[in-house]
Structure 1
């Protein structure tokens, strides 16, 4: 953790041209500089039709992420850590795909900086994980981390954070366990639960209270769909999860997991 904090501090003090990206795998580690990645032999110009962060078509100089993860087993688990504390939990297999939905590390060229994400905000650079043909792999917005500082190989979420686990008596295919899988994919990048998780963006979703305990009726589902529709706040960071990203049946499973965990509080 100390190494990551030092890396984040370095990001804030160095110019974009000298930005480092740390890739830490169990069998190998490497720190890449912006200039190295822009000149990488596999770098190419990539067109993103519907960019998740910019909400429009974008063009990037990018490197296939798979080439930066040599020797990685598809069954492995990775975490992409961003400057703002966003910590995306990523299964390795989709990142290594060469067909269908394909992951790319977009690299911001200091000579041609990307636009700001919003007025008064920085750009998505210096490193941004983007996808071509994302619909082919059901890639969620949480799998598009921007301002990435490090990519680390870690043990899976369940092994690292047992306090996130549903009742072990439940069958593997129980709806609650399906909801847990959706929580990992859509929520854990920003939130903790029972104090467990690495994200530092949003509040804990079980301590002191679970949102199913204070959102009545269908208001929690409405909030997940469009947070600004329930409480408007210009500084809010939570995005809405449209039905195209989180279908109604999956939203029901996610809320079911949260309701289940309200009865499994563990104070950190």
Structure 2
């Protein structure tokens, strides 16, 4: 009996390192455990002044993401997949940067768990992609995926999902094509369009209807800026996109892309 009590006390006093992060970067798969990452030679404590998810100052034990992206080049494309199906599409160049905006993998220590994101919701752990000086690179809220389970190098979005492509007759500089680039950065992490995309989080933005078909343009822009100003419910998850993240000109181009794609429906 005493032996069992001692064993129980030992288990309770020993942190559990059950979480795993899978990195699939095209040169073989590597799985990192929480314990390994917390002992990584590049791990350090960082402070995020205005954390996107927690809406306040947070401190984390974190590793520069570039230190984990072995073999990834600046022109590559990376996807971070969360436990809930959120799939952030990320250009590799900002992730590899060492000046200005800098990407970090924050690691939750089971002995010091992070707080809940809000009442009744889990925390951002076990792994969270955070940024120092995000304003320098105009980092979008969608580029802060939390509860990350996998990071993988993939072909670019346009190559993987041709159903997302605007009319090929349009010039590269056309506002619709610029809107497509903004859609990839700000929307594709949560939404599919024409059934295309890896996200399992939000509704399709073209099938059966594009929001441009049931929202007036002004109200759609207002919804993107501040979803809760139009629709309020406890389970709402869509963040607002401020002018510092998405300028008025960019917002117009994004809506132009959605309008354009409403005429290019491809049923999945």
For Structure 1 versus Structure 2, the TM-score category normalised by the shorter chain is: over 0.9
1:67, distance to aligned residue in structure 2 (A): 0.7
TM-score by length of 1: 0.93
1:211/1:220 contact within 8 Å kept:
yes
- Paired position in structure 2 for 1:93: 93
Please give the alpha-carbon distance, in whole angstroms, between the structure 1 residues aligned to 2:216 and 2:23.
Answer: 43
Matched, 1:261 2:256: no
Name 2:206's counterpart in structure 1: 206
Number of the residue aligned with 1:225: 225
User: What RMSD in Å do the two structures reach over aligned CA positions?
Assistant: 1.0
1:211-248 alpha-carbon deviations (Å, 9 max, x no partner): 00000241101111111111111111111111121111
Question: What is the CA–CA distance in structure 2 between the aligned matches of 1:16 and 1:85, rounded to whole Å?
Answer: 25
How does 1:74-85 map onto structure 2 within 5 Å?
Answer: 74-85=74-85
**1:182: which partner in 2?**
182
Contact 1:16 1:126 in 2 (8 A): no
Matched, 1:150 2:153: no
Residue 128 of structure 2 aligns to a residue whose secondary structure is: strand
In structure 1, the residue matched to 2:170 is: 170
Aligned-partner Cα distance in 2 for 1:216–1:70: 46
Q: Cα offset for 1:148? A: 0.1
Structure 2: which 5+ residue stretches go unaligned?
Answer: 1-14
Q: Secondary structure at the match of 1:45?
A: strand
Partner of 1:47: 47
- The runs of 4+ residues in structure 1 deviating greater than 2 Å are none
| Match of residue 9 from structure 1 | none
Structure 1 Cα separation of the partners of residues 217 and 85 of structure 2: 32
Are 2:40 and 2:63, in contact at CA under 8 Å, matched by a contact in 1? yes
Give the total of aligned pairs: 254
Aligned mates of 2:77, 2:55 — CA distance in 1:
28
Q: Post-superposition shift, 1:28?
A: 3.1
Question: What does residue 137 of structure 1 align with?
Answer: 137
DSSP-derived class of the 1:35 partner: helix
The answer to whether structure 1 residue 120 and structure 2 residue 99 are counterparts is no
Matching residue of 1:252: 252
How far 1:73 sits from its partner (Å)? 1.3
Task: Note closer, same or farther for the CA distance 1:16–1:175 as it changes in structure 2 (3 Å cut).
Answer: farther
Residue in 2 aligned with 1:30?
30
Larger Rg: 2
The superposition leaves residues 81-103 of structure 1 with CA deviations (integer Å, 9 ceiling, x where unpaired) of 00111000001111001111100
